[in-house]
Amino acid sequence: MSFGTLSNALVVIAIVVVVLIRRISCSELKNSDADAWRGPLILCGVGVYQIYGKHQYGAIDVVLLVIGAVVALAAGYASGMVAQVERRAGKVFFRLGIPGLGIMVAYLVVRLGLAGAGHLLGAATTVGGGALMVSLGANLLTQTLVIQSKAHREAEEYSVR
C-alpha cells in the first residue's frame, strides 16, 4: 500500500466516522440546501478527480462503478426513508436511528467488498480510493435528498395544522 493510498483510506475512514456520528445523533437540518449538499458534493468531486484520466479503464472497472453507484443510491434512499425527521421550536431535526445505521453499515460492508473484489480482479478504479469517495458521496446525496423531502413534507403538514 502506497502512502497516497494510505492517506486516501484515512481520509475516507475519517469522513465515514464523522458522517455516521452526525447522522445517528439528532442534528438540525439547515435551512439552506447548500449546507446539506456541500459536503457530499465535495466528496464526489474529489473522488471523480481521483478517478478521471489516471488509468486505462476496462469493462470490469465500468461494471464495478455501476454496481457501486446502484448500491450507493439504493442504500442512500433506504436510509433516508427510515430517517426520523421532527420539528422542534420551528426548526427541523433528523437522525438515522438504529435502522438507518444498520443500512449504512451494510452499505459500507458491501462497498468495501466491491473494492476488495476489484482489487483482486485488477480493476484500476480501486487504486487511490476515488471510486469509494464517489460512491459515499452519491449515497449521502441521495440520503440528503430523501431527508430534505421528508422535512419539506413535515413543514407543509405543520403549517396546515
At a CB cut-off of 8 Å and minimum separation 6, what does 139 contact?
Answer: 72, 73, 75, 76, 79, 107
The total domain count for the chain is 1
Whole-prediction pTM: 0.81
Residues 41-77 pLDDT 10s: 888 888 888 888 667 778 888 898 899 999 999 999 9
Per-residue pLDDT, 87: 80
Query: Which residue range(s) make up the domain with 74?
Result: 3-160
Nearest to 12 by CA among 100, 161, 160, 131: 131
Distance between CA atoms of residues 146 and 123, nearest Å: 32
